[in-house]
Structure 1
Amino acid sequence: MITSPIWLPATLIAGATQAWRTALQRRVSQSLSLNAAGLVRYLYGLPFALLLLAGYQALFPTPFPVLGPLFLPFCAAGGLAQIIATNLLILAFGHRNFVVGTAYSKTEAVQGAILSFLLMGETLSALSWAGIGCGVTGVMLLSTGGKRMGPMDFVRALGQPAALTGIASGFFFALTAIGIRRATQQVGGGDPVHAALIVLCVTVALQSLMQGGWLLWREPGEMRRVFASWRVSGQVGLLSACGSACWFTGFATAPVALVRIVGQIEVAFTLAFGHFYLGERMARSEVAGLLLVVIGVALALAGAL
């Protein structure tokens, strides 16, 4: 159920911001461990998340809303699911067939649609379902990086560690979206943007405690490196906070699967930028994947109207 048209621009901005943040986080991950690189986006993102909430509160002064009894559990569950999903995705990169792992992680939109129906009763039109299928197929094609991989190649790869970790990553990313959506529904007041920012601040704080506590326990030496990387990590935190604020706003105002499939337009923007601005050549499979993503987004939007 769509409660506000703000979900569409918020989702598009979230996709663009995520691409930028990911590029910066890759630089950080070169000098940090898996968990340390993950902590950066939460620890450095928390101050900016608090600033966003304070700024919104100053622009639209309202009493702090009443929080439901399940608010904290949903924030914690969504935050933990995101930590697990991110780690699984990085593990998928590390396997021999990382292309397959990445591609299977893109089944998140389909898994999200199924889980949101089972757990929250969210339904989509047939046109939106067609858009999800089209978009996921397109992103999987783009994930091959131009390599020739037929449908049976993906089927045969189902038993590979890369495929299993990729599917698991998509599953936990879908759970993240559902946890965040349920958390925003626990915030009273009727302002979905305000609710999204409150959920963002609490979730990022909990993620900083969870992953920071793990890092102090298992890799105490990495904490020093996290603070030493503040110049780039601060930028990662800023982009992460802004992107998550937009994602959370999308989840607060539209079905999970719809937000995720529209957010995949980020992949199309990235590929188009590389081709038209950087002069990179595109393989036929990438062109087909790009068209499928765009068609998928258009169908999903048409089905939502």
Structure 2
Amino acid sequence: MFGEWLWAVFTVTAAGAQTMRNAMQKELTATLGTVGATHVRFLFGLPFAVVFLIAVVAVTGEAPPLPGASALAWTAVGAGMQFGATALMLAAMDLRSFVVAIAYTKTEPVLVLLFSVVFLSELPTGTVVLAVVIATAGVLLMSWPTGTANRDGIARASALGVGSGAMFALSAVAYRGGIQASTADSFIIAASSTLVVALALQTATVTALLLLRRPQTLRSILRMWRPSMTAGFLGALASQFWFLAFAIQHAAPVRTLGLIEILFAQIVSRRLFRQQTSRIEAVGIGLLVLGVIMILYG
């Protein structure tokens, strides 16, 4: 019985670690900028991912396979989409509160539906269409200007957050494809080795770009190694459990349960950043969550 719910345990653990990592990255953005804070999770997360893989190999006795062309292609797409999604999410956090920025990214399952229509010609049912309307209404409520709020800033935050959700959606699909394409016998080895490949690709690519274009950002990252190390560990931990969940369950139920991150974000937003969510934003978040659940279970 426990084995049937193992993916749920992995997902809740991943959501909790991801919330704390996002909070750490939000703090680092002020010093390192969006690209620098985004790179922290890859550069400092890779060593921890390698340690996780070594530990798994020691326990299972199975050596990780070299990624084939298909697995490498899927993983590379997922890695690229994840970098872009993280950068957009951190940019949104600069414009809106922590919890609302996270909620914007949770339009991800809605966007998965739209991608299915466009790329797979899968027509949605009436229930699913209604769910899209409800979720979209939630996003509009969250982004609706109140008082003397900066309308341009709110519109920008909405676009950045939804764009982040779209890229996270593509990333989740690609990573699951990469794990499924692995030739490993154990799902734990498949997930762990795919994570190492993804972080290695991200680390190598972004480090090279920073060395060529923004070496000062890379120096700043290395100077702030202590908080960066913590963010990297939390990022690797979250990714490890996301990948384990994707290895044994479809992306849709994993991402649905992952909405619990919004509740975790509420706690962090109130306790750490002293940010308050307005009533209209709270209603919008509720509608968004309801719409996403209807899509996945309707």
Bin for the TM-score computed over the shorter chain: 0.7 to 0.9
> Could you tell me how far 1:37 is from its partner in structure 2?
1.5
**Residues 106, 213 of structure 1: alpha-carbon distance in 2 compared, 3 angstrom cutoff:** same
Percent identity for Structure 1 against Structure 2: 32
Matched with 1:249 is: 244
Matches within 5 A, 1:225-264: 225-264=220-259
Shift of 1:207: 0.2
Structure 2 counterparts to residues 40-55 of structure 1, below 5 A: 40-55=40-55
Does structure 2 conserve the Cα–Cα contact (< 8 Å) formed by 1:21 and 1:240? yes
Question: How far apart in 2 are the matches of 1:131 and 1:193?
Answer: 38
**Amino acid of the structure 1 residue aligned with 2:228:** S
Q: Deviations over 1:143-201 (max 9, x none)?
A: 55x9769xxxxxx99xx554444333222111111111111011123422221111110
Residue 266 of structure 1: which of 261, 270, 277 is its match?
261
Q: What letter matches 2:233 in structure 1?
A: L
Distance 1:298-1:70 versus aligned 2 partners, 3 A rule: closer
Counterpart residue identity of residue 71, structure 1: A
CA distance in 1, matches of 2:229, 2:25: 10
The CA deviation at 1:54 is: 0.8
Question: Which residue of structure 1 lines up, in the alignment, with residue 26 of structure 2?
Answer: 26
Greater Cα shift, 189-198 or 132-141? 132-141
Q: Which moved more, 1:170-179 or 1:195-204?
A: 170-179
Distance apart, 1:86 and its partner CA: 2.1
CA RMSD of aligned residues (A): 4.2
Q: Partner amino acid for 1:88?
A: L
Identify which range, 282-291 or 34-43, moves more after superposition.
282-291
Alignment of 1:1-305 (within 5 A): 5-65=5-65, 67-93=67-93, 104-115=104-115, 136=135, 140=139, 143=142, 160-272=155-267, 283-285=278-280, 288=283, 303=297
Count of matched residue positions in the alignment of Structure 1 and Structure 2? 292
The range that moved more, 103-112 or 270-279, is 270-279
Residues 253 and 139 of structure 1: is their aligned pair in 2 closer, same or farther, counting only changes over 3 Å?
A: farther
State the Cα distance separating 1:290 from its structure 2 match: 6.1
Alpha-carbon contact 1:268-1:293 (below 8 Å) kept: no
Structure 2 length-normalised TM: 0.78
Q: Distance in 1 between matches of 2:122 and 2:55?
A: 32
Shift of 1:66: 6.1
Q: Deviations over 1:83-129 (max 9, x none)?
A: 122223344456699999876543211112443676689999998x5
Q: Aligned-pair distance for 1:206?
A: 0.5
Instruction: Give the Cα separation in 1 of the matches to 2:91 and 2:274.
Output: 31
Q: Do 1:113 and 1:256's aligned partners in 2 also have CA atoms closer than 8 Å?
A: no
Contact 1:32–1:225 under 8 Å retained in 2:
yes
Change over 3 Å in CA distance of 1:203–1:132 after alignment to 2: farther
Seen in structure 2, the aligned counterparts of structure 1 residues 226 and 275 have a Cα distance that, compared at 3 Å, is closer
Residue identity in the other structure for 1:194: I
Q: Which amino acid is 1:182 matched to?
A: G
Change (3 A) 1:33 1:287: closer
CA distance in 2, matches of 1:135, 1:20: 29
| Alpha-carbon offset, residue 282 of structure 1 | 6.0
**Residue identity matched to 1:174:** A
Cα offsets for 1:236-290 (capped at 9, x unmatched): 1110000011111222222223222221211123325767999987644455456
The Cα of 1:217 is off from its aligned counterpart by: 0.9
